[in-house]
């Protein structure tokens, strides 16, 4: 069964909303994410799930919405999955706390 781009967008928004909720409930801060392995594990799965959905969006859809940084998000997923020990957590902290909200907000505007 082929999943539509619209369904994939929903599969990007939902884990991000859930991750934000969990981070708030568990008081995950920038410092936690830099230093606490459990917090890192908790953040990693939603991020690579989001990246996988971005990767699987149709090329036409991504071209039509080329102002959204699709390749950066899918690239982040590949990095998280393939080079876990080489992850620069300072970058992940920046992505999670400074960039993902804008990314998800731009996706929500596509509905």
Q: Which domain holds residue 62?
A: 5-108
Q: pLDDT, tens digit, for every residue of 78-109?
A: 788 877 677 889 999 999 999 999 999 999 99
pLDDT of res. 67: 95
The pLDDT value recorded for residue 24 is 96
50, 12 Cβ separation under 8 angstroms: yes
Q: How far is CA 26 from CA 12, 29, 59, 92, in A?
A: 21, 9, 37, 18
* Domains identified in the chain, total number: 1
CA 94, 98, 104, 107 torsion-angle sign:
negative
Q: What is the per-residue pLDDT across 15-71, written as a single tens digit (0 to 9) for each?
A: 999 999 999 999 999 999 999 999 999 999 999 999 999 999 999 999 999 999 999
pLDDT over 80 (residue 1):
no
**80 Cβ partners below 8 Å, 6+ apart?**
44, 47, 48, 51, 87
């Amino acid at each position: 069964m082929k999943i539509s781009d619209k369904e994939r967008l929903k599969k990007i928004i939902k884990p991000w909303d859930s991750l934000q909720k969990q981070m708030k409930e568990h008081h995950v801060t920038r410092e936690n994410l830099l230093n606490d392995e459990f917090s890192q594990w908790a953040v990693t799965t939603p991020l690579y799930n989001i990246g996988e959905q971005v990767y699987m969006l149709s090329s036409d859809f991504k071209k039509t919405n080329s102002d959204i940084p699709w390749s950066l998000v899918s690239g982040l997923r590949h990095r998280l999955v393939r080079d876990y020990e080489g992850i620069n957590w300072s970058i992940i902290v920046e992505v999670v706390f400074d960039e993902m909200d804008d990314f998800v907000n731009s996706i929500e505007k596509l509905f």
